[in-house]
Amino acid sequence: MEQSHITQKLTLAEYQQLEEDNYQRYEYHDGEVYAMAGGDPVHNVIGGNVITVLNQLLRKRDCTVFTSDQKVYIEFINRSLYPDASVSCGPVERSDQDTKAIVNPVLLVEVLSGSTEAYDRGKKFEYYSKLNSLKEYVLLSQHEPVAQVFYRDSPTSIWQMSWVNGRQEILCLQSLEIETTLEELYLKTENLS
């Protein structure tokens, strides 16, 4: 996780004030605070494509698609994290502790970069797994059209993993019962690398 760390431990209230005062995103890890670095153009295009595709496919469903500016709060471990995209279905539930965060995503998406890949695959996935609502976690490579998908039916189910590799391949999102090609998610990234 390549982020700037604030050495002083903060309460959740102090963390919320820090974000509000600085107009910057920070992840909160039970008192530890990390400034979030901005992504590069390829990362941002993939993230934008994910949001566009999800909004198009879910426009007539009772699901809300959120961008990378939406925090997810995990009460069980006192963490506020920023996925690259998230989807909640049914009423959106907000945290009582971190009022700008949601607590009931069904799907979370992370675009992997060199500096965040180990964190997104490891600890961040472990943290997200504590969310009872979470059914699917998608990791998208920033460097090639490859998706790794983790899916579970319920909070007590074992995570199942699948790979999708190649622009013409179809990515099935079981939690939402939708599908798209990787081409749609990697559109206009060819000349940005």
Per-residue pLDDT tens for 124-177?
999 999 999 999 999 999 999 999 999 999 999 999 999 999 999 999 999 999
Whole-angstrom distance, CA of residue 35 vs CA of residue 31? 13
Cα(45)–Cα(159) distance, rounded to whole angstroms? 28
DSSP class of 163: E
Q: Which domains does the chain have, with CATH numbers?
A: 39-185 (3.90.1570.10)
What are the residues whose beta carbons fall under 8 Å from the beta carbon of 72, sequence distance 6 or more?
80, 81, 82, 83, 86, 101, 102, 103, 105, 108, 128, 131
Q: What is the pLDDT of residues 44-97, one digit of tens each?
A: 999 999 999 999 999 999 999 999 999 999 999 999 999 999 999 999 999 999
β-strand partners of 112: 141
